[in-house]
Structure 1
């Protein structure tokens, strides 16, 4: 964004590109929002028909033709008791009308009028001087007493009086629900008294005409006058439908009361007055609007055919005229290009963030000094914790810049700002950089460089640097990148895209939090390293004095004052704590105070203890839950939170599908079954109260509402009701899936009746057949002749977010279309899905197996996306007799969609080989989380999980025979040498030759390597990352055997057998190496560590084994062994294989494997097992992958895998990796 100090802007587009915020709206219109202004009881038929017939057609038309949402606001339908009791209905209607006028792309208001003028409500607020004048014309003491009982003076809110001095107002007190009957009588009397008094005051010139009208005109009339005022200079934005019932005098009295004001006016004079005002209103409408936008209908209401003909004509005309206005406006607005839209979006956000600016003179002075400095150099780095107000400071810079350069003549200043992560185009840095380049070129008239998809970030960075050098020296440019931490993790490396040296006339400021998450890199340290001479400014929390100044400024801005008790309470919350107060914390406290009145100070004692931001959010949620209803408020917030943001249509659909919400609302009545929806007004009330903390952004082509601040995004509306979140997850899944797990359509899900009051009122038992009028989900993938394949990313991504949750698992295990779509979608890959959910403890084991299966064919699917059903069914078919229910159903779903079928099913089942690869002679192979490592002559080959294949050949003559790997390191060794290779940086870390009798090597942490040589009295440790020896550990006698297992990423257990047959168990930690156990070796010849708590002892030929539990006493006499009988015979040495899958204990599980004749035996207690696949190398040089079994779901079981006898006899090594077993043919040794 930018400013020109020396001249006014003529071209608004260039003004916007330069950063002039003066003509920037509060929000960018992104949808069609139509406010329906009508009276209540006399237009029910029209409004219900619109909801049932016309609105769905308009929603479909807007979405299919222009890809925009259509919203309607009918505030007369379903007004809750709470709104009536607190007298907020009228304000809420006018606020929503203003919002529609501001944000609608086309039509913003439709008026329906007939014979009723509408309800005339008591004013919610009466200015103090007006209240006093009215009392002078109220002569009855009872009436005065009634007035003073209903209204109380509120000194919290101040107003500017006609004499330009500040005054207070009287506030209408909420209605006590238990005294409603009496209130109705009092309300009628007050209306009469105030109308009479206001009329007399006006006649005596004590008050103005507008002040008099506040007591006489209806809510509907106020809406219409406001709408006409809002659209005074905007054409084709309003439509009026006037209905004249020609037989109104002949209809039944009960029906007539619904169509006129007689029932609502206590005297004949009041009714005459209402008709007079109605006539004036219609005349005023006709004087302000074109006759082409006013439609009058005459109807005989008692004549059913006339009534039916009128309704059909009305609905058809309504649809056509709104459609025409939509076409007219949207086609005109489509001339704006994507750059203008992007620049406008960030300008709007700049104004929004600026509203929350807390004065920080010290910080702004540092920024000013940097901007005005006349030297080239590095950018300025603005950093601070979340919630300290960095974005609002960045938004204040464009406001301050013109003043900073006021004294410089003939100087043009431009400010280009991007609030990263706030729109769908700013979550990765590539698109913001491209748009910034285009914006700078537009500002200065440069030729825009052509940037292709193939251009790298470094290429785009180079283009930006070239353009910055071309800016004339008289021009000043300020680049602002706000919230780098909101980018994708891949873009945290700023060296890839951020220029570090700028010309004298260009200044760049970036803002970030130091460390977004514990598992992500520190952005601040990276920036400091990249820009060693950068100006660094820390945004700290506010001190108490500054916090008080901010509060005082906000009170002054909003014309509010506090009582002594209120001020004392508020200031007590500003005392500094470890991370408070922050601007967000202050904003929350201030918002809580906005609900106060000076006459209810006792409410402060009921406020919860507030000391931190989370407490203030809790208080805000508690406050709004009481106001709007516990269920609907917390459910609405939870839907928005768990989904990552929803459009208003989506949210209203979900609330309408949520019976728990509907039952909390429909206490006294039920809507028509054919339009069984939550009244829009209920969400509108919540949105209006939460607007400060919600932000509209575009995600996947949909404009959504989401929380502006992280503190809200991560704050749960439910603290103790996990069941509620599960129910919300279920509805989210069913909504985007288009059906429930049992095939029911969420749209027509029966409404279960359990209210005895409603059962009796409507004479309904059991469930009610309803139509919730939910928007139909579009297919995952559609094909267009012009655009080709179109992905429904909104639907795909929302379901993608839910794949981890147990309640949603059945859907993903039976929905072949979804998994095939998400895996073939360019924005996703199987690796992303596995990282998102396979390690998640809640994920169903069947789903884990299915995803691993998808991974096994990801290479094929990346080239042939349409082959999903065939590839999956070809892998599942051999296991058809052992598949669990959901996986079996998934197979059937694939077979139904598969274009190729088995020619010989029996042959396919008897030959389960899935993949085969040719490879040279293998010396060793190991499976690790990173991938499969194969040691062959002269080189090591690495098959990574993502499908990449790499190899390293060492340049000297040494035949290595063993390998181990961890994290990014792989170590290969023989009895006399070892080599450590970093397969990420692709460099050799260590090489040690001329060793002697290497007995065992193992990684005891991510970078510490253990080496043990036979007949030595010590074991040695190396730090491979630093490429140096670390330390040695000495024993009393020479070593003859050694083994080790990892406990955690930084701890290990080492088992050493000495020549004296004493076994020592050494616990390795980063700072300590301690022997925790000693054991006299048993008579059995073989032993092997299973994990850090169990050592297994056995003999070849035996059918039993002993488990030694290290947790028992340390002395030899009390050593405890557990005997395991009835095992398959140990016909070969036993191997330990790590599952590399963390269990519920947080540690990696392991299994023992040995071979009997024709059988591989796996003994394990891996509680996260979910299926086994076998890799092996055969005599003929083939490297094969087999799907073997899914029978290992039960933990703690001995699983026997039966295979071809000839094949098993030649296998001597085997590895497990989660659902993988890797085997090695002995002939390849």
Structure 2
């Protein structure tokens, strides 16, 4: 087709409504130059060998989006909000970082024409360099050729560097540089059918159609040329005109039926990326301890790379780790230790004090400690790190202790005995630190966000953390303003470092860095408005605002959008949730946010469509996969997947829990229903025993399902995995509140008949202990030194005179009878009988 057109040009027999020879000559000269350049470039185009990446490394894929701006607003919205987020997830699973280069906005308004041209083409150069000379390129074309700069607007260096073709548009030069000259196999072209343009109102028509003859004829030749050179890489698609709508205060033409377009873009780039960078083989034989360490390190690396500024704070903490804490304030006040008692540890006068880093949520303490940790590891220091929230197990104190014991290299024999007593792990830690003190091993220990540990509300919170460390060990602990955690950390003298706000310059640098990841830029006026006009004072806030700007489609109204941003973090979350819910026609986004917020540790990703679905007549109705895919794309900046052996979906930051609870979880009745829904899932559908043991009691408790909770704790084999003190804590809520002291009337001792006393306890599934040797409430083993006899109150002890009933089978036991002599008392364990609980009625009265 193109050859035929070119022949007609040469013979001056055009039937294309060209009335003047000048236009004809311009077209011929232009395409003669293009043909010559294509021939020359292809001769020299030797494809580069793909540079290998080390194991565990990441590649980067950059996709350059090329089109005229005003007529492809709808397509670019679909790309940014649907296609690229899904493609980004697909890439991340293959350890590929996806960057979409969409220059809708990002070029400062005071940029000259020459600079604008240079920015566009230089961005393509970066794509060339990143992807080994074969950039991933997406062009969209319809009835606009684009702006053709005047000869004098194009800098001489740009003309020379990019072999500028006279009388062509910037969009055309992008196509020429990104695809045509070298026959790029990673380029794709979408040509939109122009039938819908006839329905567009006249006052919007110029945004969709060039009326000059030269531009229209250029488009005809270009489309023919693309189809000739890239027969399998050109897609034609249809759309429908929907109407004109107000978008952020500006009238925009809305078109619909873009699903085919979105699917074809996604499929093309998945195929092209897979062909360019095949997925690496996965290793399945990695020990679980190493996997945990790798996940922790991946989390640290990600947070360290995202940190901007705080050079002084980094230097202070590095100096502390290297033995110079002089510039960090000391807290010397002494208080009565509650959980971190000195007598539990073999302390020495030469020991080092801990360094506590305190900061408000969202102020960047995790990124700061990640940066310090990464530097220390790179410099060859012996470092143990545990970042709570970095993996799905990292919030459990038991996981932290086991990792620390493994790192301190405890002998296998000692580890094997650690389950003999609940306090054994702490004894092992004490012995381990004593051995480290005797050795010459120098090490650094970093604990981040100890306020997120699941033990944060328990009496023994942070009991595993020694008051001081041996002189050859430095320890840094970070915490937000969680009062109980701060109180535990302040029980002994230590160095105390309070993180200040980030500062204007660093906040601006963070905004530039975040938006730069997506190839977007703000000018100085916009940066000033963003930082000084909103009152932002922390990294989380600035990132969330930048994400709102990133998905904002109308670059002409960007300054107004910045000016209208909320002036507090809570208001910003409200704005974000309003936008997300407005974009969610399925209700999936709200349900996901709410269920994560009320969950014990997040939602299992493998069953997410079951969790978000419904149960009808005992049958699980899964949500459509498309609904979840759409919700996940929208929620991508706010959620993350962590851990092993199961992927758990959770929030990307602790503050999101508070925001969702405050804004979306305001109806208590609905919250209870959500807990019931999750309890049903974990108890009846989930097959993971660890998750069942942790999550079922939690959701039954908050779902007000008392009887089901008691039955689960006493009869389900997975409930036996819970430590006895946790099982006891759950059951205490259902004890009869009446007193049952021996001096009160009608109360009676708990007894077992001779037959039941020798049977295995019914209070704990799988128990090997007999009823007489087990706690009558939680089933824990009874040690003689902690015996507390159980009693029932006057109400529950009523019966025939001189009788009592077997606590297990309810058979009558007569006093002053042979059967009474064979009856055995029932006892409470140290948890169920502690303090006033030992004087309470031992009967449980749960209600649903």
TM value normalised by structure 1: 0.40
Number of the residue aligned with 1:480: 446
Q: Pick from 249, 274, 278: which aligns with 1:227?
A: 274
Q: Pick from 601, 625, 634: which aligns with 2:557?
A: 601
Q: Pick from 345, 363, 383: which aligns with 1:415?
A: 383
The reply to whether residue 713 of structure 1 matches residue 657 of structure 2 is yes
In 1, Cα distance between equivalents of 2:681 and 2:146: 51
The reply to whether residue 346 of structure 1 matches residue 296 of structure 2 is yes
Give deviations 1:261-301, integer Å, cap 9, x for gaps.
xxxxxxxxxxxxxxxxxxxxxxxxxxxxxxxxxxxxxxxxx
Q: Pick from 416, 419, 438: which aligns with 2:406?
A: 438
The reply to whether residue 571 of structure 1 matches residue 571 of structure 2 is no
Contact 1:384 1:514 in 2 (8 A): yes
Contact 1:415 1:480 in 2 (8 A): yes
5+ residue gaps in structure 2? 1-52, 60-73, 97-101, 108-115, 122-140, 148-157, 164-168, 175-188, 211-215, 238-260, 326-350, 738-749, 778-790, 799-805
Map 1:639-1038 → 2, pairs under 5 A? 639-644=595-600, 645-657=602-614, 677-698=622-643, 702-714=646-658, 715-716=660-661, 718=664, 721-722=667-668, 724-738=670-684, 776-778=685-687, 792-805=689-702, 809=705, 812=708, 816=711, 819-821=714-716, 824-827=720-723, 829-834=726-731, 861=762, 946-948=831-833
Q: Pick from 299, 308, 314: which aligns with 1:364?
A: 314
Number of the residue aligned with 1:616: 572
Provide the secondary structure at the position in 2 that maps to 1:333: coil
Provide the secondary structure at the position in 1 that maps to 2:385: strand
Instruction: Check 1:398–1:871 CA distance in 2 against 1; reply closer, same or farther (3 A cut).
Output: closer
Number of the residue aligned with 1:333: 284
Q: Pick from 331, 336, 359: which aligns with 1:384?
A: 359
Cα deviation for residue 378 of structure 1 reads 2.5
Contact 1:370 1:535 in 2 (8 A): no
In 1, Cα distance between equivalents of 2:57 and 2:443: 24
In 1, Cα distance between equivalents of 2:322 and 2:593: 45
Q: Pick from 496, 499, 516: which aligns with 1:539?
A: 499
Specify which structure has the bigger relative contact order, considering alpha-carbon pairs within 8 angstroms and separated by 6 or more residues. 2
Provide the secondary structure at the position in 2 that maps to 1:416: strand
Cα deviation for residue 129 of structure 1 reads 6.2
Name the larger-Rg structure. Answer: 1
In 2, Cα distance between equivalents of 1:536 and 1:414: 23
In 1, Cα distance between equivalents of 2:82 and 2:670: 29
Contact 1:693 1:707 in 2 (8 A): yes
Map 1:1-400 → 2, pairs under 5 A? 24=56, 86-87=78-79, 89-102=82-95, 198=222, 218-219=264-265, 220-231=267-278, 234=280, 333-334=284-285, 336-373=286-323, 377-400=352-375
Contact 2:321 2:474 in 1 (8 A): yes
Where is the helix percentage greater, Structure 1 or Structure 2? 2
Q: Pick from 476, 479, 500: which aligns with 1:512?
A: 479
Give deviations 1:1101-1131, integer Å, cap 9, x for gaps.
xxxxxxxxxxxxxxxxxxxxxxxxxxxxxxx
Provide the secondary structure at the position in 2 that maps to 1:509: strand
Give deviations 1:523-571, integer Å, cap 9, x for gaps.
44543442x3x43221123344443343234344543222677545423
Contact 1:424 1:698 in 2 (8 A): yes
Number of the residue aligned with 2:133: none
Cα deviation for residue 393 of structure 1 reads 0.5
In 2, Cα distance between equivalents of 1:565 and 1:392: 28
Provide the secondary structure at the position in 2 that maps to 1:457: helix
Cα deviation for residue 366 of structure 1 reads 1.2
In 2, Cα distance between equivalents of 1:200 and 1:193: 11
Where is the strand percentage greater, Structure 1 or Structure 2? 1
Instruction: Check 1:362–1:99 CA distance in 2 against 1; reply closer, same or farther (3 A cut).
Output: closer
In 1, Cα distance between equivalents of 2:396 and 2:690: 17
Instruction: Check 1:229–1:370 CA distance in 2 against 1; reply closer, same or farther (3 A cut).
Output: same
Cα deviation for residue 221 of structure 1 reads 3.6
Number of the residue aligned with 1:1121: none
Q: Pick from 439, 443, 448: which aligns with 1:470?
A: 439
In 2, Cα distance between equivalents of 1:355 and 1:422: 15
5+ residue gaps in structure 1? 1-20, 28-81, 104-122, 134-142, 150-159, 236-328, 406-411, 660-673, 739-775, 779-790, 841-852, 883-897, 920-941, 951-966, 969-982, 984-1138, 1141-1172, 1174-1184, 1194-1229
Give deviations 1:404-449, integer Å, cap 9, x for gaps.
x6xxxxxx433331113544543344543443453465xxxx9777
Instruction: Check 1:838–1:102 CA distance in 2 against 1; reply closer, same or farther (3 A cut).
Output: farther
Number of the residue aligned with 1:527: 489
Provide the secondary structure at the position in 2 that maps to 1:373: coil
In 2, Cα distance between equivalents of 1:733 and 1:574: 41
In 2, Cα distance between equivalents of 1:144 and 1:415: 58
In 1, Cα distance between equivalents of 2:305 and 2:668: 36
Provide the secondary structure at the position in 2 that maps to 1:804: helix
Instruction: Check 1:679–1:830 CA distance in 2 against 1; reply closer, same or farther (3 A cut).
Output: closer
TM value normalised by structure 2: 0.56
Contact 1:198 1:212 in 2 (8 A): no
Instruction: Check 1:564–1:485 CA distance in 2 against 1; reply closer, same or farther (3 A cut).
Output: closer
Contact 1:478 1:507 in 2 (8 A): yes
Provide the secondary structure at the position in 1 that maps to 2:641: strand
Contact 1:24 1:344 in 2 (8 A): no
Give deviations 1:465-500, integer Å, cap 9, x for gaps.
42365346xxx6432111222232458665644372
Provide the secondary structure at the position in 2 that maps to 1:702: coil
Cα deviation for residue 360 of structure 1 reads 1.0
Q: Pick from 572, 591, 600: which aligns with 2:547?
A: 591
In 2, Cα distance between equivalents of 1:707 and 1:863: 34
Provide the secondary structure at the position in 1 that maps to 2:603: coil
In 2, Cα distance between equivalents of 1:83 and 1:735: 39
In 2, Cα distance between equivalents of 1:834 and 1:584: 39
Contact 2:614 2:620 in 1 (8 A): no
State how many pairs are aligned.
599
Provide the secondary structure at the position in 2 that maps to 1:620: helix
In 2, Cα distance between equivalents of 1:100 and 1:623: 28
Instruction: Check 1:629–1:83 CA distance in 2 against 1; reply closer, same or farther (3 A cut).
Output: farther
In 1, Cα distance between equivalents of 2:573 and 2:143: 40
Contact 2:534 2:568 in 1 (8 A): no
Give deviations 1:447-467, integer Å, cap 9, x for gaps.
777423143413323314423
Map 1:1029-1068 → 2, pairs under 5 A? none
Contact 2:443 2:474 in 1 (8 A): yes
In 1, Cα distance between equivalents of 2:599 and 2:197: 40
Contact 2:386 2:448 in 1 (8 A): yes
